[in-house]
Structure 1
Amino acid sequence: MNSSVSALPLSTLDSANESLTLRLPTSLQLKQQLPLGNVLSQQVAVHRQAVRAILDGEDHRLLVIVGPCSIHDPRSALEYAEKLARLSHDVSDQMLLVMRAYVEKPRTTVGWKGLAYDPRLDGSDDMADGLTLSRELMLEMIRLGLPIATELLQPMAAGYFDDLLSWAAIGARTTESQIHREMVSGLPMPVGFKNGTDGGVAIAVDAMRSAAHGHRHFGIDSQGHPAVVQTPGNPDTHLVLRGGHKGPNFDRGSVAEIQTALARQPVPGRIMVDCSHANSGKDPLRQPAVFNDVLEQRLQGNRALIGMMLESHLFDGCQPLSGTLRYGVSITDGCLGFSPTEQLLLQAAERLRNQA
């Protein structure tokens, strides 16, 4: 992965506040530099349709979004992807595994913002290189046969990757954003809206309703020009439960209460559970317990639970960003190692087979 589309020379220097503006390549330029191609484009289309079939109840499999909290090292991410591609074949009769290719990291205050922002991890913020490296990496994952997913945080960045994704997430802090709801209304893949940080689902329900409708909104076209964007609406959205300040919301009682609330709204009742964040008490090693609890609810007949999300890397835990990093260990949220992730998914697939 050594292609590069560089930022253009400095275009603006505002002496009043010393702000800088560097022009990035347009999304069209980067897509032309690193094209998806017809064969892989058809593969992405098939994967998107498979996700839709699960959401619509036409496919009995579980949808499992799994992979690093965020990618900081392309080499370890590709090693993980190779392992996941092999595992995917072993469980494909019961699960559709979608790899987390998260290249943006939301921050409560400040900190490393992700591969697309700062690919060298040194504060240089070479976003042109970050966008290029992120797209190259996603293409490599797709070539392995994997569907990929990401969280869409910065709407301007979405156009650099929207042709590659089979599923996307809108995070708890951005679900309430009108700009993100408008963006989702024009995306060609299924999207999960996370519940708000308070644990309530009303904001996510509003987001699903908004995204299902067409919009005319301010945006950027593929050539980088300001534009009026008209969208058709996205019918393929769903709720993602990730817990909140008051604690988890994956348990049977919480799910039943949320299903009742969804039934009163003109939105689909399908639910995914994020086994991390508040649902695991931010302890990555508790994710299997959450996963198995949700799986048991599914096995007992709750078909509204269409899938789960796991934060998983090559090795358990996390580490601070420093000059010396352990290979395959997250530098953002703590992750479950690949070996226990593999064991968890193989056992879950066997339980699902036995039920059938």
Structure 2
Amino acid sequence: MSMKINHELPLPEVLKSQYPLSQELKEVKKQRDEEIRRIFTGESDKFIVLVGPCSADNEDTVCEYVRKLKTVADKVSDKLMIIPRVYTNKPRTTGDGYKGMLHQPDPDKAPDLLAGIIAIRKMHMRVMQETGLSSADEMLYPENRSYLDDILSYEAVGARSVENQQHRLTASGMDIPVGMKNPTSGDLSVMLNSVTAAQHPHHFIYRGNDVETSGNDLAHTILRGGVNQYGQTIPNYHYEDLIHLSALYAKKDLKNPAIIIDANHSNSNKQYKEQIRIVSEVLHSRNYNPELKKLVKGVMIESYLLEGRQDISDHMTPGCSITDPCLGWEDTERLIYDIAEKC
């Protein structure tokens, strides 16, 4: 066979016992989860800002970034819920390229998933220890989330995964918000079908077990733009797009309708500076229409210490993305204060 086993990976319970979450951090996460839930249920009118690197590639620079974020978060805590974007798995369209810290805890070295699952757990814990902010990550591999399910406060299902049955069923067993992105085609019905599936109970096989879920009432939509049959990007953050999705939501019997706008990817055509303008337009649409103000719960922004991106090499600059280009810190700080003022 063409598949070779490198390591037998530890069970999630074993890894959690080796790298346990302290009682203090469990309480931090519990309080954060409760506050985030109140936003999605409409009990709180705070606006969510999911912000951070396209891919978390280095523990020290990620923690430096989130420490800066914490300083800003404290100043806008009456208006905003800041959730650090600490993405440790990176989907690749063709399968090539850096796949995130889970695969390569050191981008310069060969893949090592045993070291990777330890590295990402330790990094997420360190972020919470140093800042009191619990993070968001992408559920790229449904079975792997069990290594982090006691740490994360938000998860996203990406455009390439949103039609996958295992992602939908696993999301139905989560007790935190899970955002379903529209697929790369831009088809909103696929995204809404995923939300519907995640909000319902299911019976399926998970990590070799027969499991039953109760449904996730915080499953919701993320608009990230799409690509048409000619490879042209089609954004879907405009007022008309939000009104259209609002009408589609109204036809469905879904709990806690919510939209998050991903300001990068196909909405910006990866022109990272456009995120500033896109967020401004989204805030204007919310303020213009009271229904959208209730429905659009937040934005997702790709940002790091330094703007742009770089290739993996032996002379990389710490804090600059090695995947998609990101806003730099100065622009990010100004943008967060602007969101707090206008939301």
TM-score scaled by structure 2? 0.94
Matched position secondary structure for 1:20: coil
What one-letter code is carried by the residue in structure 1 that aligns with 2:49? V
- 1:228 maps onto 2:216 in alignment: no
Q: CA deviation at 1:322?
A: 1.7
2 CA distance for matches of 1:287 and 1:182? Answer: 32
Shift of 1:196: 1.1
Moved more, 294-303 or 56-65: 294-303
Give the match for residue 84 of structure 1: 69
In the aligned structure 2, how far is the partner of 1:348 from the partner of 1:308?
A: 10
- 1:244 aligned to 2:232? no
Deviation at 1:348, TM superposition (A): 2.1
Code of the aligned partner of 2:341: E
- After superposition, give the CA deviation of every residue in 1:209-229 in whole Å (9 maximum; x if it has no partner): 111111111111xxxxx2111
Deviations 1:152-186 (A, max 9, x none): 10112110001101111000111111000111111
Displacement, 1:199? 1.2
1:6 maps to: none
SS at match of 2:206: strand
The match for 1:13 is none
Take 1:187 and 1:310, find their aligned partners in 2: how far apart are those partners? 24
Mapped partners of 2:235, 2:3: distance in 1: 44
- CA shift digits 1:240-259 (9 cap, x unpaired): 00000141000001111111
Which residue identity is paired with 1:62? F
Aligned residue type for 2:120: S
1:12 equivalent in structure 2 = none
How do residues 196-345 of structure 1 correspond to structure 2 at under 5 angstroms?
196-220=183-207, 226-246=208-228, 247-267=234-254, 268-300=256-288, 301=290, 302-303=292-293, 304-345=295-336
What SS does structure 1 have at the residue aligned with 2:309? coil
Structure 2 unaligned residues grouped into runs of 5+ = 229-233
Report the aligned-residue RMSD. 1.2
- Corresponding residue for residue 127 of structure 2: 141
Which residue identity is paired with 1:260? A
Q: Are 2:49 and 1:64 aligned?
A: yes
Answer yes or no: is the 8 Å Cα contact 1:153–1:170 preserved in 2. yes
SS in 2 for 1:284: coil
SS of the residue corresponding to residue 321 of structure 2 reads coil
Q: Deviations over 1:272-304 (max 9, x none)?
A: 100001111111111010001001112223221
Whole-Å separation in 2 of the counterparts to 1:17 and 1:335: 37
Q: Provide Cα deviations, 1:130-149, integer angstroms capped at 9, x if missing partner.
A: 11111111011112111210
Identity of aligned residues (%): 34
CA distance in 2, matches of 1:166, 1:245: 30
Farther-moved stretch of structure 1 (273-282 vs 118-127): 118-127
Size of the alignment, in residue pairs?
A: 332
Contact 1:198 1:245 in 2 (8 A): yes
Point out where structure 1 has 5 or more consecutive residues left out of the alignment.
1-15, 221-225
**8 Å CA contact 1:97, 1:147 repeated in 2:** no
Aligned in 2, Cα 1:351/1:212: closer, same or farther, shift over 3 Å?
A: closer
- Deviations along 1:9-53, whole A, 9 cap, x unmatched? xxxxxxx43623420111111111111122211211111111111
Of 172, 176, 194 in structure 1, the residue corresponding to residue 181 of structure 2 is 194
* Alpha-carbon shift at residue 54 of structure 1 (Å): 0.9
1:33-81 residue CA offsets vs partner (Å, 9 max, x unmatched): 1111222112111111111111111111101100001111111101001
Rounded Cα–Cα distance in structure 2 between residues aligned with 1:325 and 1:248: 32
Q: 1:121 aligns with which of 107, 123, 126?
A: 107
SS in 2 for 1:211: helix
Name the counterpart of 1:347. Answer: 338
Q: Structure 2: how far apart are the matches of 1:294 and 1:286?
A: 12
AA partner of residue 43 (structure 1): V
Contact 1:68 1:101 in 2 (8 A): yes
Instruction: Give the Cα separation in 1 of the matches to 2:299 and 2:265.
Output: 13
Tell me if structure 1 keeps the 8 A contact 2:108–2:312. Answer: no
